[in-house]
């Protein structure tokens, strides 16, 4: 299964990606996570990406695409993958399509996680991420009273780009640059919308039901 998750910041792409990828036994490839790992590691890629991420802007396409090409070439991605946060504009989508075509492959399905702006702001304001295992939590919805990960005990942190002002800009960038992907993939006839409101497990169930008809 070759799957893409699309949706605004805070829609729950990362949250759902961890469950969907494990249900389907495919790797979850999140460009945001890979950039953040490079930022913490202090690599050249991380230094470059950070200037864009801190403003809530997209990292330039050439950089992002090269990074995804490398990741998709790894062994564990040969029998399928779930992309979270890529592609992020139509240019990236076209290059992904051509890249897969060169390898004799194509996407099976694009899931759009649908949720309104107010909910997105609530979700991002309370988001915490585990510095050790990467799991995503929410202070209110997961009733987090301490700053420790329930799964591994690691310390939780708040993302630099979750400040209210940056969140607002990320939403604008989504509307301008990423939302056009919805009609792009509808045109390719591989888009399915999933209601991403309600409890996490219910959203996962809806997503798995949407995926089922596409499983080989």
Number of CB atoms found within 10 A of residue 192's CB: 16
- To the query of whether residue 128 is one of the catalytic residues in this protein, the response is no
What does 112 bind: Mg ion, Zn ion, ligand AP5, none (CB cut-off 5 to 8 Å by kind)?
none
Residue 116 assigned as binding residue: no
The phi and psi torsions of 181 (rounded to 5 degrees) equal -65, -30
Q: Which of 4, 6, 11, 26 binds ligand AP5 (CB under 6 A)?
A: 11
What does 58 bind: ligand AP5, Zn ion, Mg ion, none (CB cut-off 5 to 8 Å by kind)?
ligand AP5
Give the range of 37-45, 137-145, 148-156, 183-191 binding ligand AP5 by CB under 6 A: 137-145
Tokens of 105: 């492959």
- To the query of whether residue 47 is one of the catalytic residues in this protein, the response is no
Q: What does each C-alpha distance from 78 to 100, 119, 178 come to in angstroms? A: 11, 36, 26
Residues that bind Mg ion (CB under 5 A): 14
Per-residue contact track with Zn ion, 153 to 192, x per CB under 5 A?
A: -x--------------------------------------
What does 1 bind: Zn ion, ligand AP5, Mg ion, none (CB cut-off 5 to 8 Å by kind)?
none
Dmax (CA) of the chain:
49
Number of CB atoms found within 10 A of residue 164's CB: 10
Q: Is 138 in the site for ligand AP5 (CB under 6 A)?
A: yes
DSSP H/E element including 137: strand 136-138
Looking up tokens 């009273």 gives: 145
83 or 211, CB closer to ligand AP5?
Answer: 83
Task: Please tell me the distance from the alpha carbon of residue 48 to that of residue 169, in angstroms, as a whole number.
Answer: 19
Number of CB atoms found within 10 A of residue 105's CB: 14
Looking up tokens 């995804």 gives: 68
- To the query of whether residue 170 is one of the catalytic residues in this protein, the response is yes
The phi and psi torsions of 116 (rounded to 5 degrees) equal -85, 170
Catalytic hit among 2, 28, 88, 123: 88
Residue nearest to ligand AP5 (CB): 32
Looking up tokens 């070439």 gives: 73
- To the query of whether residue 69 is one of the catalytic residues in this protein, the response is no
Which residue numbers are catalytic?
13, 88, 127, 159, 170
Which spans of this chain sit near ligand AP5 (rule: CB under 6 A)?
7, 9-15, 31-32, 35, 52-53, 56-59, 64, 85-86, 88, 92, 123-124, 126-127, 136-138, 141, 161, 170, 198-200, 203
């Amino acid at each position: 299964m070759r799957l893409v998750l699309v949706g605004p910041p805070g829609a729950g792409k990362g949250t759902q990606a961890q469950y969907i990828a494990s249900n389907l036994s495919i790797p979850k490839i999140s460009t945001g996570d890979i950039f953040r790992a490079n930022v913490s590691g202090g690599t050249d890629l991380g230094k470059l990406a950070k200037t864009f991420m801190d403003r809530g802007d997209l990292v330039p396409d050439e950089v992002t695409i090269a990074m995804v090409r490398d990741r998709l070439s790894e062994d564990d991605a040969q029998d399928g993958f779930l992309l979270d946060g890529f592609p992020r504009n139509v240019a990236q989508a076209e290059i992904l399509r051509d890249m897969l075509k060169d390898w004799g492959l194509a996407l099976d399905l694009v899931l759009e996680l649908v949720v309104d702006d107010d909910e997105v702001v609530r979700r991002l304001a309370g988001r915490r991420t585990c510095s050790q295992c990467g799991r995503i939590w929410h202070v209110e919805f997961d009733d987090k009273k301490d700053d420790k990960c329930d799964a591994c005990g690691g310390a939780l942190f708040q993302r630099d780009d979750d400040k209210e002002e940056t969140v607002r800009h990320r939403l604008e960038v989504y509307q301008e640059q990423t939302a056009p992907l919805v009609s792009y993939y509808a045109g390719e006839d591989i888009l399915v919308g999933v209601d991403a409101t309600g409890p996490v497990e219910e959203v996962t169930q809806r997503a798995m039901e949407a995926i089922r008809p596409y499983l080989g």
